Amino acid sequence: MRKMTFISSITGLGMVLAGCVSHKEASSDRIKAEREAAQVVFDEQGEALLPKGYRSWVHVSTSWLPITTSLLDGMITKTPELFNTYVEPIAFKTYVKTGEWPDGTLFAKEFTTTRVDAECDGPPAYVCKRWYGKAIFQSAYTGVAIMLKDKKRFPNEPGNWAYFSFGHQPPPYQPASPPRARERCAQCHIDRAGPKLDYVFSVERIGLDRAGDSRRDILEASLPD
Ligand code: HEC
């Protein structure tokens, strides 16, 4: 369903480029597409299937962590890791406008390794030499974690958030995840982010800043009208 929506909006865009469709028609296509939020599908065992297309949601932050114990599997990471955090577009828009995460909100936090080739220094940063200077690079995808706000399915969880993780490994990731135990995921979000942030750390990150004019700026930069 979502896939079809996506295709139809791409087609709409193609037609705009070709100059065949009025602005009004193009934006009504887009509005239609935007009304259909990405959703998590649950299998018969109550496990969440890894949502498709999360890398095309709104990217709201990148963070970098030196080698440490991974919260995905409790193992020491092989390289420093970066995380990229994405928010489902309709939830993003609602949050930027209202400051509230609507029911159905989805976050994806994807992990990557850092490049550690012969041209790179060692720990902690693995800064690599290139012709233009020095840089740190993402190297390979290595896992993804999801948060879903779902009142009906998780009425007793703080903020109605459920947490899922799909392995600490190169893609393909594990196709499904049970809701992870509170001690493993939620507790840290409860203790450290807490109800004031609705348990979401990323509201303090660059892409979710609602102060002053930045609200309008981040909306315009993230999603077309
Ligand atoms: C020790 C604390 C801790 C634990 C345990 C933890 N997280 Fe988080 N989580 C964080 C922090 C800190 C961030 C913000 C990362 C950043 O961008 O700097 C975060 C961010 C996230 C995000 C992006 C939304 C947000 O709150 O910013 C998701 C999704 C997420 N975590 C899922 C999980 C899942 C799934 C688990 C269990 C496998 C888990 N977390 C366990 C601390 C934790």
In tens, the pLDDT along 111-144 reads 999 999 999 999 999 999 999 999 999 999 999 9
Q: Which residues, other chains included, contact 103 with Cβ-Cβ below 8 Å and sequence gap of 6+?
A: 149, 150, 151, 160
| CA distance readout (Å), 171 to 30, 87, 91, 142 | 31, 20, 26, 7
Integer distance in angstroms from the first to the last C-alpha of the chain?
22
| CA distance readout (Å), 150 to 113, 155, 212 | 31, 7, 30
What average pLDDT does this structure show over 96-104? 97
Taking CA atoms only, the protein residue closest to ligand 1 atom 36 is: 185
pLDDT over 60 at 212, yes or no: yes
pLDDT over 80 at 7, yes or no: no
What average pLDDT does this structure show over 99-104? 98
What average pLDDT does this structure show over 200-213? 94
What average pLDDT does this structure show over 69-81? 96
Can you give the pLDDT at residue 36?
A: 81
pLDDT over 80 at 50, yes or no: yes
Q: Report which ligand 1 atom has the smallest distance to the Cα of 72.
A: 38
Query: How far apart (Å, rounded) are the C-alpha atoms in residues 11 and 32?
Result: 13
What average pLDDT does this structure show over 82-92? 97
Query: Among residues of the chain, what percentage have pLDDT more than 90?
Result: 81
Of 63, 82, 147, 154, the residue with max ligand 1 atoms within 8 A of its CB, to mutate for a pocket test, comes to 147
Per-residue confidence band for 9, with pLDDT thresholds at 50, 70 and 90: very low
103 CA distance to ligand 1 centroid (A)?
19
| CA distance readout (Å), 62 to 65, 106, 143, 220 | 10, 17, 15, 20
